[in-house]
Amino acid sequence: MGVQLDILDALLTAVARLNLPLRVLSEVSVRVSEAEVPMPDVSLVRRGRYPAAVPVEHVRLAVEISESTLADDLGRKRTLYALGGIPEYWVVDLSARVVLQHWSLEGGTYAKSAIVPFGDDIALATLPGLVIPTAALRDDSDDGLT
């Protein structure tokens, strides 16, 4: 849960600093289709009230934290989010200590990607000016208590 909270905090800070009309949500359902309602670990969505699942067209960024689900996150979920039209998708690979950033939708897939190592800043490709540091990302076993 450490990395998930770190990303939430970093996105909240960046969104507030830029005064963007967005909300940062954790583990909220996203309605991609009638049959597909995934729950990204972190989502950046347009401000609004969502009594049930967030409509996919309101999602600007979906983030999955991957420890044992990397194949699914880079396979089925990446395809699902791209086909749903989510402009940007990140997979935080805890084992490799990198963020796999995907954007530029073309033909139902992400045409561009980058690998951002923990320690480097990551800028949203689809929201200019929104940058978060990855230096503070902790793995889930690092609870800060000794």
Domains belonging to the chain, first-starting first, are 2-133 (3.90.1570.10)
For position 138, what pLDDT does the model report? 65
Give dist(CA 74, CA 81) in Å, integer. 10
Let me know: does 69 contact 78? Beta carbons within 8 Å. Answer: no
For position 139, what pLDDT does the model report? 57
Percent of the residues in the chain that have a pLDDT greater than 90, as a whole number: 83
H-run or E-run covering 93: strand 88-93
Mean pLDDT of 37-62: 93
For position 50, what pLDDT does the model report? 83
pLDDT in tens, 79-128: 999 999 999 999 999 999 999 999 999 999 999 999 999 999 999 999 99
Query: Which pairs with CB-CB distance under 8 Å and at least 24 residues apart come from 44-49?
Result: 44/11, 44/15, 46/21, 46/22, 47/21, 47/22, 47/23, 48/23
pTM: 0.92
Q: Which residue has the tokens 């699942």?
A: 53
For position 145, what pLDDT does the model report? 36
For position 48, what pLDDT does the model report? 86
* Residue 101 or residue 49, greater confidence: 101
| pLDDT, the chain, mean | 91
Residue 65's pLDDT band (boundaries 50, 70, 90)? Answer: very high
- Distances in Å between the Cα of 47 and the Cα atoms of 57, 61, 70, 91 are 12, 13, 30, 23
User: Residue 5: phi, psi to the nearest 5?
Assistant: -65, -40
Question: Does the pLDDT of residue 77 top 80, yes or no?
Answer: yes
Mean pLDDT of 1-11: 90
